[in-house]
Every structure is written in structure tokens, then in C-alpha cells.
Structure 1
């Protein structure tokens, strides 16, 4: 297996956006998610992404530069005249795989309108098609969005204002032909949407409560609630999460876990939870729905007309 670049976490400035806000600014963008997906499947050069995605040169250049600046990709020159660059996944970039896997599974289960059929996930350890199951890393027991599963909430660097991406952060859906994560982007790709989703998972379900948490104009809150109801994520009668909305929990928790591993606020974590069943500080992990074994990146295969893996370097071991 190729060795990933070893990195230290980024220390965030005191009082600024916390790990959750930084994460949403990076991953709340469909182009970024698609670029990382292709990087996990072996893309390294500009031409690789251009061949696989309907993305313009300008947008791809901007996203690659941003991911390199955030430490998710390492830029290496492979040609001098003219200069050409490879963008290799770092340890931080490869660590996004659980988030992408949970998004993939949620979109496949709950979103019928995809421009192309999502491939089947296969667990190499057991050879079976599977869904990722969210479990507690301490006790291996499944964790759901039921209110008695996790206790806790905002930590020392938490709070609504610090947990949303900076207003100047530009994110957009790939849209059009690329819409492989269309509803995920609707939930995470707008600063108000992300805040509303977080509030809903913390039990908020009244308009006035949403407005207080988001500190947004009433028209913005009403628009976001309306959109979430259209998507079937909130119930229209009381604005509580639906089964579809609750099923998005693995995406949220794996994304927060990745963020807090790699972006440290001086004051402490943005979110802190305890798994009620075992009493341990909650850290998410994923298990295979077919064999209950713990999932790791090198054992997740994609079954299409050809077989690829989320870690291309591990193909030599097949």
C-alpha cells in the first residue's frame, strides 16, 4: 500500500469557526465530494478528473488548489516543461472515506433521482454487498438517531455561530450531469441548511427555535424549512426529522468526527457526546451490515462492470 503523508492537525484561531464550521466549508460542496471520491478511486492528475467528471478547467483548478491548501491533497510536480502536477491524497484527505461511504449509502437508499445508477458496495472481508452500519467504536453496538442513544452537545468551542461555515465561503452544487450527491448538497451545502440540520438533530422542531439557533431572517428560515420538507427530511406538520432525515445521522457524525480529528480549536472540541449504552465518550465507527465486521478503507470495493477499490494501491493484494 502506498504510504500517505503524515500530518498534524490544524490549530484553529480562538473565537473563529470551529471544526464543524471548517468541515462544512470544505465538504458542503458537491464538486469537492466528487473530486475526493475520484481521488480515492485513483485520480491524481488534472486529466484524470477532467475525464471522469463534467467539470470545467477553472472550477477543477480552484477546487484542487483549495483541497491542497486545506491539507487534503499534496501537490507534486511530475513534469517541468511545461509544468504539470499530481495531487495525491494525504492522510487527512483519505480520512474522508467514511463520510463519502455514508453519503453514498444514504443517497442510494433514499434518493431515487440520480443521473447514473450508484454502484453496489462490497465488503472484501466477507465478499457480500453491504450497507455501512454506524456503531460506537468503544463497544461496537449500533447507534441510531433515537434520543436515548447519545447524550451531550456543544463543547468548549461549540455554539451555533461558530459551527457554520464563513459567509464568504463559496460552495455550489455540481448540478446538471454530475448530480451524484444531489440531496446531500441540499442539506450540507448552504450555511443555513447545515445549521438547521444540526438543530433538528439536537431536537429543535419549532419555527421560533430554529430562528433563534440560526440567528437568520424569518424568510431564510422559512425557505430552508420548506426545502427540507420538500426533500422529506422534516415532517410538514411539526418540523421533526422523518425516517429519511434520521437516516442521515451517520453522515453527520462521521463528518464531525473527521473534522475534530484534523481541526483543533484552542478552546476544545466543538461537540462532545457520550454513548448512553456503554458510558464511553462517543467515537463513530462503521461495520458491515452483512458480517458485522469493522469496515476499513482498503476493504470497500465497488461492484460495477469492473471491480475497483477505494484504495487503488491495495489492488495488488487481490
Structure 2
């Protein structure tokens, strides 16, 4: 077994001339929708995981992932179109290309860290070992602690208030690829089994978002999402089965139960917030942000920040190394 250790946010080899925030036309899919379209696809996350470890060529991904030519080609094209990769020619005679992470792509490292951390803490089994994360500043293995960049203090879901902003509606927050099913090969390679259960489907992601905005009852979800009752029932059942929600007796009628986050569900909050933070920095709607949050402890806009749980220092991508064993 060999090991690879690389800083997550090393300066990109290529400075992409178009690596500036994408301006979204009025009334179109907002930053949340674009972000869910990216991270709600497990192949994208797996491709990004290996890209962070230095894989840049088509053959490199084929060596480490049980992915078909067609699927890999489509995902690389999509990630390039989103500005996460830049396609670079490395052999002119044979017209061969590799895919270099842009600044936008490397800027996804907080999302990957929070997903790995949640899966490691709350999902008992994985096909493959999750990467080891080392904070090079203190030299220790660590877990990231989510906090507010405005005041520097830790922040949990209960410490934050807010919701939709000027471009934020449920319809505009739906990704273009409205549903994705994990293929058998993806499950065999996957490191994100329950993360995909939460954000890998349009209705799952929407229901999760509604819960973080305060929805608890079936009719609350039905009213906010406009989804068919059978779909809401199915998603609520699935969330309870994986231990993200717990069902409680209704306050009005016992047969109208409420659905509340468990500790496991609340622990997913950093994944949502780092993803929203990334999306709203790189995809900007003409009307304004899709989501607006305030950290109640300081009264300021919540700015996503991760800190090392060992030394307390704010994490920077250049100071975080990921060690991954490959066979």
C-alpha cells in the first residue's frame, strides 16, 4: 500500500483566466441549485477527492475508480463547464489533455473535509477507509470545527437564524439534474453512502433544507416544498431510518407526528453551510444571495469558517494535508 499526502489548497498549477464568480441571470437556478448539482453527485465527489490528491489525467481516475468511460467523460465535461477544472493540453502531437483544478475547484476543500468528518463520525461502515486529515500547523490528526468567521466562535445549527434571500426560492434551488441514482459501481467505490442519501436527490436535499429552516410537521414540508405527499412520506421515512430525524408525538394531535433532527442530523449542518458558502461565492445571482444567515451569538452575517479541534487555529487549505492509502 502506498500513501499520498498533499495540501488541499496548494496554488493551482494553472491560473484560469475565467476563474471569477459566475454571474447568474435573473430568475434562473440559484447558487444552491448549482452547488447541489455538483456535490449531490457521488462520482463528482470521488473525482474531486482524487484530484485533490494530484490526479489530473483521464487514465489516473480510471486506475483508482471503477468508473466507466462514458460516466467519467460526462463528469469531467460537466466539472469543466462549471469552472472546477480547466482542460489543458499536455501532449500536442497526440492532442492529449489533462484536467487541472482551478481556484474554484480547490476552494471546495472545506466541503470535502466536512463530508469526510461527518461520515467518519456517524456512518459505521465504509467500503474504503476515509482519508486521514492532518493539520500541518500543529502536526496532529484533526476534525474541523465549524464556526463564524465574523466573531471566530463555533456555530451550530441552533446558533444560526435566517433563510431565503433575494434569489432564494425552492424552485430556483433545485439542481438541473433533478434526481440521481447511485449505480452499483458507485456504491462499490463510494465513501459517502449516507451523504448521498441526504443531498443526492432533489427532494431529499429540499426536505433537509426545510428542516434546517424550521419545518417539523408533515404539512410544513408539504406546504414549503410543494412535493407529492407520497414523496414526502418516503423521504421522512428514509431520514428516520438512517437516524437523521426522530419522530415525536404531535402537539396538536398525537397522530400528527413531528420530525426533529437527532444529534446525527444536526451534525450535518457544517456540510450544508460550507457548501452554501462555496456556492454563493462562485455563483452570484443578479437579485442577490439565495440564502442569508445571521450568527445569533454576535449578530453578524454568518461567514463559514473551519478551525482545528486540536489547536484551535483557523484552517487554511495550504496548512491541511490529506493522507490517503491506495492499493
1:205 aligns with 2:225: no
CA drift of 1:52 comes to 1.1
Distance 1:59 1:188 in 2: 20
Range with greater deviation from structure 2 (245-254 or 114-123): 114-123
Instruction: Note the 1:265-280 alignment, pairs <5 A.
Output: 265-280=285-300
Q: Residues 210-221 of structure 1 correspond to what in structure 2 (within 5 A)? A: 210-221=221-232
Task: Say if 2:114 and 2:270, in contact at 8 Å, map to a contact too.
Answer: yes
The match for 1:21 is 33
TM-score (norm 1): 0.91
Residue 236 of structure 1: SS of its match in structure 2? strand
Asked if the contact 1:30/1:172 (under 8 Å) is kept, the reply is no
Is contact 1:25–1:171 with CA below 8 Å preserved after alignment? Answer: no
CA RMSD after TM alignment: 1.5
Distance 1:164 1:304 in 2: 33
Aligned to 2:306: 286
- CA gap of 1:71–1:62, structure 2 versus 1, over 3 A, is same
CA deviation after TM superposition for structure 1 residue 81, in Å: 4.1
Tell whether the 8 Å contact from 2:179 to 2:202 is kept in structure 1 after alignment: no
Q: What is the rounded CA distance, in whole Å, between the counterparts of 1:247 and 1:169 in structure 2?
A: 25
From 175, 179, 188, the counterpart of 1:165: 175
Indicate conservation of the 8 Å contact 2:58/2:98, yes or no.
yes
Higher strand share: 2
Q: Map 1:1-318 to 2 at 5 A.
A: 2-3=11-12, 4-5=15-16, 7-146=19-158, 149-166=159-176, 168-169=177-178, 171-173=180-182, 175-237=186-248, 238-303=258-323
Q: TM-score, normalised by structure 2?
A: 0.89
Verify the 8 A CA contact 1:153 1:272 in the aligned structure 2. yes
Distance, in Å, in 1 between the alignment partners of 2:227 and 2:293 is 27
3-state SS of paired residue (2:162): strand
Q: Give the 3-state SS of the residue equivalent to 2:315 in structure 1.
A: coil
Structure 1: gaps of 5 or more residues: 307-318
Aligned residue for 1:240, secondary structure, equals strand
Alignment partner of 2:166: what SS?
Answer: coil
Size of the alignment, in residue pairs?
303
| Distance in 1, Cα, partners of 2:42 & 2:312 | 30
Residues 253-262 or 3-12, more deviating: 3-12
Can you list the C-alpha shifts for 1:39-82, whole angstroms capped at 9, x where unaligned?
11101000111111111111011000000011100001112343
Q: Which residue of 2 aligns with 1:316?
A: none
C-alpha separation between the residues in 2 aligned to 1:5 and 1:38?
Answer: 20
